[in-house]
Structures are given as structure tokens and as C-alpha cells.
Amino acid sequence: MTRVLAAAGAQQADAAAAPAGPGAPLALCAPLAALADAGLEVPVLGGGVVRHVNLDVAASAPALDSVVAHVARLLPYYASVHRGSGYPSQAITALVDEARATVAGHVGARDDDLVVFTRNTTDALNLLASAVPGETVVLDIEHHANLLPWRERRVVAGRATIAATLEALDAELAARPAALLSVTGASNVTGEVLPIDRIARLAHAHGARIAVDAAQLLPHRRVDLAASDLDYLAFSGHKAYAPFGAGALVGRADWLDEAPPHLAGGGAVGAVGIGGVDWKRGADRHEAGTPNVVGIAALARALAELERLGDECRREHERALTERLHRGLAALRGVRVIRGFDDADDRLGIATVELERGSVGLLAAALAAEHGISVRAGRFCAHPFFDRVARRSNGLRASLGAGSSADDVDRFLDALARLVADGPAHAYERTPGGWCPRVDDRPRPEID
């Protein structure tokens, strides 16, 4: 498997020259940012290589080139944070402090909000769950990360429209108060964006706080805690082009200062005696142990880079490609796009389809093995939502990001149309790990 940068340049030129369809400016259909996987070639069954098309960005996004460069620059200085007297240790300590400020600034944190670095969104929401002094209300559309951690949980079933769903939330909170309402900013199944400003007003009107699972939303849109009056925000670096193992929980300090430390250990304590411990307050309380310096620095750099790209530019790029994707899917026979809400008029570059006939798992395997296209098949860790809105047991999800191009969308639509009409060209078998080519002659990548 080769990474051919010259080929990447050629592909980008192709993508820019491709007909973008009505209303989609040509330049916006080229990749918006340089990513580590640009121009990656992958082998296909029967021999040969093709340019990889990454439409599984909602699961994990490749690193931005600028993030990779930043990490490479910091590695020579890698040293312990907060404990070392050496020059590298102090440089790295300053970098982590700056990263915290960058993250806070990017998400519009208030001066007294905490930025706690975590492993990912799941970790951030589990931390918050340990701090909530009462019940949490969630919708059934949530990813399991925002469904399972809450100890005292009430689940409200989504309705056919967002408007009716907000009425149901309103009624639930009016009937019985809750400490927290935790909602996703955008569905990881349908890409539908929820009106978080309105939901924040609704929660506050009933005396509840609001947390937003921004795992999907934040990499695509500017999210601002203060402007939207959100109390907490959770997100992951690996979905925001910084796949180095860090995420964050940002928000109000009081509950977090009262909560049991997320991890017990060094760094989270003021003083320790055999008989008792003086736990710190603030972010330190929940960040015991040696922090993931590389992940934290990468996350901050990625958010700074997204800010540099600009919210409007990112929206335009995504809007053009998402329209192209949905237009193409709507024209395909035998394929149904899954929707959560009839009135959702804003969505990220995510589309999940189900098939009238056949297995999406088989199709996903064939897309990868025969066409070099990565998508995802399954229920996307949102089982209650998927089971309510889908007709079949599994869907196939294509998701776009800053590295996506019109050419990516077209290759996917073309390959999907051919697979739905004619089936795969090779034989596959179902294994405990999913569908696999019966004979797989693709070489393993040389990663050493």
C-alpha cells in the first residue's frame, strides 16, 4: 500500500474539475483540508490499487497534516508535565496549558468553566454522569455513549418531527424535574442536527442543565457554549482530525468539583495522609496520572485549524457534498435513506441507507474489497434509535469530512448502484467478524 502525494494532487484536481451539479460551486467539491490519508492507495481483489475513498469519517477521521506536523515538532520535547524541572518538561507543561486555553476558546467556554481532558466522548460523558446530582433525561436517538452512562436515567422516545420531540421533552421535564438533559448535537446515524440553542432554553426553563454530545457536531460546526447557553460539551479528538487519543469535557465547575475523582491517583490530590486525602478541585481533580500530552496538543491544534478554515467555508463544503450524496442516493433503486425526523432541515455529511433486499454487511465488504471505498455497516451504537426508525436490522453509513471530494461521492454512488443492481463480482463468506472475501489476495500494508 503506497501513499502517493503526486496522485493526491492529481485526484484533487480531478475532483475540482468534476461537474458539481446545480448550486454546488466547483472549488468547494475538492477536499477542504490536507489530511494524512490524502492520496492513499489501497489494493483491490484480483490485483491492482485504487485511490482510497474514506466515507467512514464519522467513526474516526484521519489526522490533519498540520496536526501531524505539530506532533512531530513536539515529540523531541516530550517529557513529563508539571513535575519536571527540565527545559523540555517546562515547554511541554506550557503546551498543555496553552492547549487547554485553545480548546476553551474554540468552544466558547466561560471564564469559570473547566476543560477536563479525557480519552474521548464516552469517557467525558461517563465523567459527567458521575457528577450529576439527580436524574438525567435523554432521547432515544442517542449514541450508546450518551445513553448508558447515566445512573438515574429517563429516556424520551423521539417523535416523527423535531418539533414534536421538543414538545415531548418539554412535557417530560414539566411532569418531573431532572438535573440534566443530555442530547446529541447531531445524530451519528442520520446526520440530522438538533436545535441545541432551543433545547438549552427548554432545559433551563425547567431548571435542568444541558449537556451536548458534540462527538459528531464539533468536527463539522462551530459550537459555542456561552452563545448557545450550554452547560456541558463532550467531544473526541479522533473525530476532529486529531486521532491521538484525547477528548474533552468542558463546562460548569461546581458539579465536577463535588464529584468523586474520575481517576484516583497522583496529580488529583493536594495532600495525602494514611488516614485521608485532600482532593483538588478543578480539572486536576479528574486528570490523575500522566496526561496524554500528544493527544491534548493534537486536539488543540486540530480545533485551531478548523477555526482557521472557517465555519462558513466548512458548512459550504459539506453542504455541497451532502446534497450531491443525498441526490444520488434518492435516485438509486432498492435503497432507502434512513431519517429520524420529517422536519429536519439541517444535516451533517452523513447518510445511512438500508436495502430493500440483501445484506448491507456484504455490500460494505464489497465496497472496500472491490472498489477501495470505506463505509460502515451496522446499527452504529445507537440501537434503540436504529430499531425505531429502520425497517431492516442494519444500515450502511457513508460519512464525509474535510478531506472529502465530489469524486469520492461519485465513486461511492457509482459503486453502490452497481453492487445493488448486480451484486459483488467476487465470492464472500460470513465470518464471526463480518463478511469477508472467500479468497482475499490483497497484500497487507507495510506499516513498520
Q: Which stretch binds ligand PLP (CB under 6 A): 160-168, 193-201, 209-217, 385-393?
A: 209-217
Strand order, beta sheet including 232-236: 114-118, 247-251, 232-236, 209-213, 180-184, 136-139, 153-156
381 is catalytic: yes
Complex with ligand PLP: residue 143 or 301, whichever CB lies closer: 143
Complex with ligand PLP: residue 194 or 406, whichever CB lies closer: 194
CB of 351 to ligand PLP, least distance (A): 14
Least Cα distance to 296 among 84, 68, 117 occurs for 117
Residues binding ligand PLP: number (CB under 6 A):
14
The C-alpha cell of 266 is what? 497522583
Q: Which stretch binds ligand PLP (CB under 6 A): 10-18, 211-219, 254-262, 436-444?
A: 211-219
| CB-based contact 127:262 (threshold 8 Å) | yes
If one asks whether residue 35 binds ligand PLP (CB under 6 A), the answer comes out as: no
Among 120, 190, 374, 405, binds ligand PLP (CB under 6 A): 120
**8 burial via Cβ count (<10 Å: 0-12, 13-18, 19+):** buried
Q: Which residues pair with 436 in a beta bridge?
A: 429
Measured CA to CA, the distance from residue 146 to residue 328 in angstroms comes to 32
If one asks whether residue 371 binds ligand PLP (CB under 6 A), the answer comes out as: no
What sign for the dihedral angle of Cα 338, 341, 344, 349? negative
**406-422 and 360-371 helices, crossing angle to 10°:** 120
The C-alpha cell of 148 is what? 448508558
CB of 79 to ligand PLP, least distance (A): 27
Among 109, 145, 199, 246, binds ligand PLP (CB under 6 A): 145
If one asks whether residue 216 binds ligand PLP (CB under 6 A), the answer comes out as: yes
DSSP 441: -
If one asks whether residue 213 binds ligand PLP (CB under 6 A), the answer comes out as: yes
Measured CA to CA, the distance from residue 32 to residue 403 in angstroms comes to 6
Distances (CA, A) of 312 to 133, 165, 235, 318, 411: 38, 28, 21, 10, 26
Least Cα distance to 252 among 176, 194, 179 occurs for 179
The C-alpha cell of 16 is what? 475540482
If one asks whether residue 397 binds ligand PLP (CB under 6 A), the answer comes out as: no
Q: Which stretch binds ligand PLP (CB under 6 A): 7-15, 73-81, 164-172, 210-218?
A: 210-218
Q: Which stretch binds ligand PLP (CB under 6 A): 68-76, 208-216, 395-403, 407-415?
A: 208-216
Q: Which residues pair with 155 in a beta bridge?
A: 138
CB of 169 to ligand PLP, least distance (A): 18
- Site residues (CB under 6 A) for ligand PLP, limited to 264-323: none
If one asks whether residue 352 binds ligand PLP (CB under 6 A), the answer comes out as: no
If one asks whether residue 128 binds ligand PLP (CB under 6 A), the answer comes out as: no
If one asks whether residue 399 binds ligand PLP (CB under 6 A), the answer comes out as: no
- Site residues (CB under 6 A) for ligand PLP, limited to 218-237: 236
If one asks whether residue 143 binds ligand PLP (CB under 6 A), the answer comes out as: yes
Among 92, 181, 215, 288, binds ligand PLP (CB under 6 A): 215
Among 11, 12, 102, 121, binds ligand PLP (CB under 6 A): 121
CB of 348 to ligand PLP, least distance (A): 10
Catalytic residue, chosen from 29, 313, 381, 436, is 381
Least Cα distance to 211 among 288, 167, 145, 306 occurs for 145
Measured CA to CA, the distance from residue 24 to residue 324 in angstroms comes to 8
If one asks whether residue 146 binds ligand PLP (CB under 6 A), the answer comes out as: yes
What is the SS3 assignment for 114? strand
Least Cα distance to 191 among 164, 160, 221 occurs for 221
Enzyme catalytic residues: 381
Binding positions for ligand PLP, rule: CB under 6 A = 59, 120-122, 143, 145-146, 184, 188, 213, 215-216, 236, 238
